[in-house]
Structure 1
């Protein structure tokens, strides 16, 4: 009886597979294509590979009989692979149960995929095929913008940062990363969907690529004073929440000793390098130890407030002055708990779940050289939010001359997270025309020039110090002045025009 039941069950399953094989094949196709897109983006010249993969998606998508589902599956495959490092932070570091950790990654990826799926499915439904490339580019651009602001935003692993090693990076200082998104999406859709000859397609794409690279040659900022010597410290210490008291003291001693022995004008230690509050640290004693040296020390620390709240902060000082920057854009669940999700934090097990948020516009730290150099500080993934960084540059009357990012990616182990954030930091330098220096706990510590090019970097998971010279820059790019408004306006007007013309062709 049991054998007969098993045979019947197996036969039903076989019939199900045969009856739905086309649906299953298409499901696997779009999931696999999304996964390939994520993997190819991590390759050298990843922006070009991304363009190829997105073109392949549009090629298969034009014949889809379930556009919303297939676009969502494509993005699901993309995000699960691009963001799998979140599993490391939840399970390997946070000790969350394996199933709950997998669920969290898939749930986040599922949500992020909705924006792209809705944008391309809506454009395909409402817009005539003749205008579809421009409509798709506009709708994807708007979707990426919304993904970056709704529920505090999570624009990580977007199209824009892929183009830092691709064809369309030249648009970043003019119209921002969203413009890179628009041009890349339009080019891929045009190649896959436009009903024109191969020669005309080739000429059009060649023109777009040439124009984009030509724009990258235009300088919008200028050198400011002389280059300064920097030393960026990479301690490669374990996470503070798993440290013993002895390990915490060893970490603190390491960074403070580096300060006392360094000859660089600017010494930077990463996020949470000093695992104590700024009130506990004897800053006056450290300032005296500097003597009259023209030297500035900047480090991650816990900021303390009168109401007993803590903030994820950066402390900077020379022999006369002290500065503090409190992180503005906090990480959901890691640094603040969204309403109704305390159970999630309890499962995660991180003790510091509620930080005080700093203001978006804060006074920069100032390194006094022949000309005062204004340092704009970013902590951890604040460099993901290009519009916020542009606003900080715009509303600081004198502007920043160097961006300083301090971060701790030990949460994410040996994953692609460090490379992804490095691309984001490069995009921020390109958008603002200002160099960025990055001090990280485990990597990638590096120096990025005003054109978004990495000039030097340290290997990951090594205790090292990166020394080099950084040329400050001054000025404000068109993107800093105008923000995302122009590209959003272009996208909305393009969609409206395509919709009107489509109605006339129906």
Structure 2
């Protein structure tokens, strides 16, 4: 049976980019942590179905997914550079594409690392471990740029309650683990994911903080003016 890549490599590549875009868009939806799991499960399914063994091509598959993910996720930079800073459209777009490409390298590395583990008994842990490692490196290397980590979507997702115990990367691990399990939709895998979600939800019954004395009131004041005027000398009082 031919893989999606062998059948039509152009459609396969375009589908990876499109899934990356959907993942980024879904992160802005209510309950995004739930929506992203099946989307990423399908992405992992496609990455796993590829019969490609060349390291460069394996890296490229993950890179394409990351490129689709980070271009819309970083589009606010275009607004800052073009709308506010007055930079040319083509140069602002190129800056977004360059940074998105750099961030997509980590997706490529994650796929490359995960593909090296072929023993099925270990893959259920190797896949999330590879993605957690690269997400950690993305937040640390070259001063770090942890923007749009998968843990952020879990703020209103099924694994948020694990964060106070083990941090955001634990949320990422469980998110990737759940997606990798659902990428092979056997009854045992589905039951495991449902069971893990139930366990994490139970952890929400405990709180790390408790109110002390009477509550305080905090107000934040921000000037209501166009950002495009912020650095205009003529508008300075």
TM-score normalised by length of structure 2: 0.89
* 2:111 counterpart (113, 120, 127): 120
Aligned to 1:207: 195
Aligned to 1:238: 226
3-state SS of paired residue (1:24): helix
Q: CA deviation at 1:186?
A: 0.6
Partner Cα distance (1:205, 1:21) in 2: 31
Q: List aligned pairs for 1:38-49, cutoff 5 A.
A: 38-49=24-35
Aligned to 1:81: 72
Aligned to 1:52: 38
Cα 1:32–1:205 shift into 2, 3 Å: same
Does the alignment pair 1:131 with 2:88? no
3-state SS of paired residue (2:196): helix
Does the alignment pair 1:192 with 2:183? yes
Aligned to 1:97: 88
3-state SS of paired residue (1:228): coil
The higher relative CO (CA closer than 8 Å, separation ≥ 6) is in 2
Q: List aligned pairs for 1:47-446, cutoff 5 A.
A: 47-64=33-50, 65=52, 66-193=57-184, 197-198=186-187, 200-239=188-227, 240-244=230-234, 247-249=235-237
3-state SS of paired residue (1:160): helix
Q: CA deviation at 1:193?
A: 3.5
Partner Cα distance (2:183, 2:13) in 1: 20
User: Once the two structures are superposed, what CA deviation does each residue of 1:368-399 show, in whole Å capped at 9, x if it has no partner?
Assistant: xxxxxxxxxxxxxxxxxxxxxxxxxxxxxxxx
Kindly indicate whether the alpha-carbon contact (under 8 Å) linking 2:117 and 2:123 is maintained by their aligned counterparts in 1. Answer: no
Q: CA deviation at 1:121?
A: 1.6
Higher helix share: 2
Kindly indicate whether the alpha-carbon contact (under 8 Å) linking 1:62 and 1:193 is maintained by their aligned counterparts in 2. Answer: no
Q: CA deviation at 1:119?
A: 1.7
Partner Cα distance (1:216, 1:180) in 2: 14
Partner Cα distance (1:208, 1:48) in 2: 14
Partner Cα distance (2:134, 2:67) in 1: 15
Q: CA deviation at 1:72?
A: 0.7
User: Once the two structures are superposed, what CA deviation does each residue of 1:54-109 show, in whole Å capped at 9, x if it has no partner?
Assistant: 11101111112232111110110010011111111111111112111111111101
Aligned to 2:3: none
Question: Unaligned regions of 5+ residues in structure 2, if any?
Answer: 1-5
- Comparing 123-132 and 100-109, the one that deviates more: 123-132
Q: CA deviation at 1:171?
A: 0.8
User: Once the two structures are superposed, what CA deviation does each residue of 1:196-226 show, in whole Å capped at 9, x if it has no partner?
Assistant: x42x223211110011111122111221221
Partner Cα distance (2:205, 2:144) in 1: 32
Cα 1:122–1:76 shift into 2, 3 Å: same
Partner Cα distance (1:131, 1:191) in 2: 16
Kindly indicate whether the alpha-carbon contact (under 8 Å) linking 1:30 and 1:77 is maintained by their aligned counterparts in 2. Answer: yes
3-state SS of paired residue (1:224): coil
User: Once the two structures are superposed, what CA deviation does each residue of 1:431-468 show, in whole Å capped at 9, x if it has no partner?
Assistant: xxxxxxxxxxxxxxxxxxxxxxxxxxxxxxxxxxxxxx
- Count of residue correspondences: 225
Partner Cα distance (1:81, 1:165) in 2: 21
Q: CA deviation at 1:243?
A: 4.8
CA RMSD of aligned residues (A): 1.7
Partner Cα distance (1:112, 1:129) in 2: 29
Partner Cα distance (1:109, 1:87) in 2: 12
Kindly indicate whether the alpha-carbon contact (under 8 Å) linking 1:133 and 1:193 is maintained by their aligned counterparts in 2. Answer: no
Q: CA deviation at 1:21?
A: 8.0
Higher strand share: 1
Partner Cα distance (2:216, 2:191) in 1: 45
